[in-house]
């Protein structure tokens, strides 16, 4: 005789969402559509609340690391130049107070700095999204091995504008654009030895008479914050103190950093 054939057990779904067979035994749990939608909604709300914070913290860490690396690499290059007796005083023509000779500045940099920046291209040739930095009569461009680009403009000292992520956006001061000085003498102003390549430490601020004046502000955090704030009407970007503020705060971007990242 063949094996007896038994009909398959039927099952039903109770009102509580559980599968049961005809004998009433629980087989496996199931979620209702409402429960699934509620869960997805909660996940969406949590993601909407946390992702912007995660992205902002990531941008902060990238800025902090790249900015500190730029400062370190440039000053290490100067240290090597000093060790090889190639770090000399620029000619008067290179940094004359009335506006330096760009060609003379380039000659000085070619011997005093560029050989110690491994993989750097100088002078570099590229189109930058902000057209004023493409003015070859004022700026000389440098591309570093990690993609950082810098613009050098001689005037008393050598003013340096650096974009720490290259030509990629947002090309905004305090986010990827930062301002420095390159000086043949190390800066010791404000009781702080800041090296030969150091963040712009001069800013425009109102004095008691309501006039604008320039002053060294390292150590005065309120003035550094004021000098870091975005001001689209101010075309003299070299006075911006965002890099100085980040350096002062231990190469960290604090919660009161005045530029939106």
Helical segments of 160-236, H only: 221-228
Question: Is residue 9, in this structure, part of any structural domain at all?
Answer: no
Residue 164 burial (CB count, 10 A): 23
pLDDT of residue 95: 79
- Domain count for the chain: 1
DSSP H helix total and E strand total for the chain? 4, 10
Per residue, the 3-state secondary structure of 147-209, as one string, reads CCEEEEEEECEEEEEEECCCCCCCCCECCCEEEEEEEEEEECHHHCCCEEEEECCEEEEECCC
- Mean pLDDT per block of 10 residues along the chain (261 residues) reads 53 51 56 79 79 80 96 96 93 74 91 95 94 90 96 86 94 93 78 82 55 66 84 53 93 94 87
Question: Is residue 145, in this structure, part of any structural domain at all?
Answer: yes
CB 149 within 8 A of CB 167: yes
pLDDT of residue 5: 54
Question: Is residue 16, in this structure, part of any structural domain at all?
Answer: no
pLDDT of residue 97: 61
3-state secondary structure of 146: coil
Can the peptide bond before residue 170 be classed as cis, meaning omega within 30 degrees of 0? Answer: yes
pLDDT of residue 237: 47
Question: Is residue 168, in this structure, part of any structural domain at all?
Answer: yes
| Residue keyed to tokens 């604090």 | 254
Question: Is residue 2, in this structure, part of any structural domain at all?
Answer: no
Question: How many whole angstroms separate alpha carbon 6 and alpha carbon 195?
Answer: 90
Tokens of 50: 């946390």
What are the strands of the beta sheet with 26-29, ordered from one edge? 11-13, 18-21, 26-29
pLDDT of residue 9: 53
Look at residues 158, 146, 180 and name the one whose alpha carbon lies nearest to residue 66.
146
Q: Which domain does 227 fall in, by range? A: 65-248
Question: Is residue 161, in this structure, part of any structural domain at all?
Answer: yes
**DSSP element (H, E) containing 18:** strand 18-21
3-state secondary structure of 26: strand
Question: Is residue 112, in this structure, part of any structural domain at all?
Answer: yes
100 phi and psi, to 5 degrees? -75, 165
pLDDT of residue 170: 93
pLDDT of residue 94: 81
Question: Is residue 78, in this structure, part of any structural domain at all?
Answer: yes
pLDDT of residue 238: 45
pLDDT of residue 233: 47
Residue 196 burial (CB count, 10 A): 21
């Amino acid at each position: 005789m063949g094996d007896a054939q038994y009909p398959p057990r039927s099952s039903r779904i109770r009102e509580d969402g559980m599968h049961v067979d005809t004998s009433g035994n629980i087989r496996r749990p199931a979620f209702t559509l409402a429960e699934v939608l509620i869960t997805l909604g909660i996940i969406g709300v949590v993601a909407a609340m946390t992702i912007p914070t995660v992205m902002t913290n990531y941008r902060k860490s990238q800025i902090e690391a790249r900015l500190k690396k730029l400062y370190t690499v440039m000053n290490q290059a100067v240290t090597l130049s000093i060790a090889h007796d190639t770090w000399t005083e620029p000619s008067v023509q290179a940094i004359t107070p009335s506006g330096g000779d760009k060609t003379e500045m380039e000659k000085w940099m070619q011997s005093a700095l560029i050989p110690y920046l491994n993989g750097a291209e100088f002078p570099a040739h590229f189109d930058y999204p902000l057209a004023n930095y493409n003015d070859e009569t004022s700026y000389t461009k440098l591309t570093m091995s990690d993609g950082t680009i810098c613009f050098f403009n001689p005037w008393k000292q050598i003013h340096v504008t650096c974009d720490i992520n290259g030509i990629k956006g947002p090309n905004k001061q305090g986010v990827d654009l930062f301002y420095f000085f390159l000086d043949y003498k190390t800066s010791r102003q404000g009781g702080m030895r800041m090296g030969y390549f150091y963040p712009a430490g001069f800013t425009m601020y109102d004095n008691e008479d309501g006039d604008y004046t320039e002053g060294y502000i390292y150590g005065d955090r309120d003035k550094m914050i004021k000098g870091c704030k975005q001001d689209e009407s101010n075309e003299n970007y070299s006075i911006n103190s965002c890099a100085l503020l980040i350096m002062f705060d231990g190469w960290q971007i604090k919660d009161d950093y005045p530029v939106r990242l």
